[in-house]
Amino acid sequence: MGERETWTTEEFGSSHEGTVGVLLADGTVPEPVTYLLMSGGCGMTVSHWSVYDGRIGLAPRAHALRAVCCCGWTGPEHLLNWDEIGEQALSTAGADAAGTCMEEWGRHTVEVEQSAIALPEAVTDLLERLEAEIEKLEKTAPLVALRAARRLEVTAERVAYWPAHEARHGTSLDEVAAALGLNEDGARQLLARFGNWDPYS
């Protein structure tokens, strides 16, 4: 894939990994750029948006930046005015557009969260209160906070075991994925982790 900045959320992880995407003037997405190193004939492959300035090596010039998510969602195009950019580094001249891309991807993840199956208000309130209490402990009694977090981890593994098995046998994988805001591989991995089986068995 090449080196690039990516974003994830704690809940959705790699199912909704976002980044700044590059479009060329013909509407295509450029390939990662390989920079050859001085010795050994090896190279470094990079696909960070800032290298597409048309100036160095084989990197073409970006026409626009947009937010992209591995789920297939894309944000609107933000055109780059090269007359205004002039001799500036693209990493500087395109920073505002890249920041906007990140904000747009953030709104996309909010929409994903809203489309996932809703939690009962009582459960949401309890989770928020528990998180707040553990955060208080981390300032005054970090070891107590660690034990509380560990108890929470153990509880999650215990109470999710049978729901994972029931979901595996009673619900299609795409339905599980949609309910949890994950892709199918993410849903498979989650069910396997909580249900204690090989995800590809």
Segment 51-73, tens digit of pLDDT: 999 986 678 999 999 999 999 99
Both structure tokens of 188? 């498979």
Mean pLDDT, the chain, whole residue set:
93
pLDDT digits (tens, 9 = 90+) for 123-153: 999 999 999 999 999 999 999 999 999 999 9
Give me the phi and psi of 124, to 5 degrees please: -60, -45
**Non-local CB neighbours of 135 within 8 Å, separated by 6+ positions:** 145
Question: How far is Cα 123 from Cα 61, in angstroms, rounded to an integer?
Answer: 50
Domain locations in the chain as residue ranges: 6-115, 121-195
Across 22-45, average pLDDT:
81
Q: Tell me: pLDDT of 40 over 80.
A: no
Lowest-pLDDT choice from 1-10, 35-44, 61-70: 35-44
pLDDT on residue 1: 38
Q: Tell me: pLDDT of 27 over 50.
A: yes
Q: Tell me: pLDDT of 116 over 80.
A: yes
Question: How far is Cα 201 from Cα 192, in angstroms, rounded to an integer?
Answer: 9
Across 84-111, average pLDDT:
96
Cα→Cα distances 200→38, 129, 158, 191, 196, Å: 43, 36, 22, 11, 12
Question: How far is Cα 118 from Cα 97, in angstroms, rounded to an integer?
Answer: 33
pLDDT on residue 35: 75
